Amino acid sequence: MAETFRIEGLKEVERALLEISHAAGALVLEKVGTARLQAIAADASERAPDGVFGDLKKDIIVTPVRPKGEPKLSTVEIFAGPKPGRKAHLVEFGTAPHTIFAKASNVNGVMTFTIDGRFVSTAVVHHPGAAPSPFLRPAWDSGAMALLDGIGKDLFAEISAVAAKNNTRASKG
């Protein structure tokens, strides 16, 4: 069952952000969001299974998202999850049985790999599928409320620090 919560103080945060520059506000949002998502990313790394598609435990990152070619927007988006190109979704949600065919670019038109210490070379693999092994969603579920609770406190502290720095600069002329 979905958890219900209430977020208060967004109007106050918006007003406070409007009192500092657009760029400073975006940096504050980025700093706080990145810091708060680190705990969820660390939990996801702990939960990630070993030996699947490389080392998913080391591939969980937290980074701001900046679309190429677009001007910096007034919104801030932070990504927490596997590095781009990783196949973590196949681990998280599992896969149905499927057939894998060697690509034409494979040497001699076959795939080569090792199974139980044996070297195998084949053009077709009948994969039995894989059961889901969730690690990202459970990390979010266990850390979301702490993230939301902490963001408000962190935003207040960061915006206050920027405003104080601006006031000091303004008073010095």
Quick: pLDDT tens for 96-110.
999 999 988 888 889
Answer yes or no: do 112 and 49 share one domain. no
Give the residue, 20 or 1, on which the prediction is more confident: 20
Crossing angle (nearest 10°) for helices 136-172 and 10-19: 40
Q: Print the domain residue range for 21.
A: 10-85+132-172
Q: What is the pTM of this model?
A: 0.76
Residue 11 Cα distances to 8, 151, 163, angstroms: 8, 14, 17
Q: Can you read off the two tokens belonging to residue 98?
A: 């499927």
- Helix runs in the chain, H state only: 10-19, 22-47, 88-93, 136-172
Give the residue, 92 or 51, on which the prediction is more confident: 92
Question: Would the pLDDT of 132 be above 90?
Answer: yes
Query: Are 93 and 132 in contact, with CB atoms under 8 Å apart?
Result: yes
Q: Can you read off the two tokens belonging to residue 46?
A: 């702990």
Q: Provide the pLDDT for residue 17.
A: 84
Q: What's the rounded Cα separation, in Å, for the pair 127 and 135?
A: 22
Answer yes or no: do 20 and 56 share one domain. yes
Mean pLDDT, residues 154-161 taken together: 90
Answer yes or no: do 74 and 136 share one domain. yes
Q: Measured in Å, how far apart are the chain's first and last C-alpha atoms? A: 56
Q: Provide the pLDDT for residue 52.
A: 66
Using only C-alpha atoms, the chain has a radius of gyration, in whole angstroms, of 23
Answer yes or no: do 56 and 140 share one domain. yes
Question: Would the pLDDT of 70 be above 80?
Answer: no
Question: Would the pLDDT of 72 be above 90?
Answer: no
Query: Are 62 and 45 in contact, with CB atoms under 8 Å apart?
Result: no
Q: What's the rounded Cα separation, in Å, for the pair 23 and 33?
A: 15
Q: Provide the pLDDT for residue 3.
A: 67
Proportion of the chain above pLDDT 70, given as a percent: 91
Q: Total domain count for the chain?
A: 2
Residue 64: which of 19, 23, 34, 88 has the closest Cα?
34
Give the residue, 10 or 78, on which the prediction is more confident: 78
Give the residue, 75 or 81, on which the prediction is more confident: 81
Answer yes or no: do 23 and 70 share one domain. yes
Q: Provide the pLDDT for residue 87.
A: 85
Average pLDDT of every residue of the chain = 86
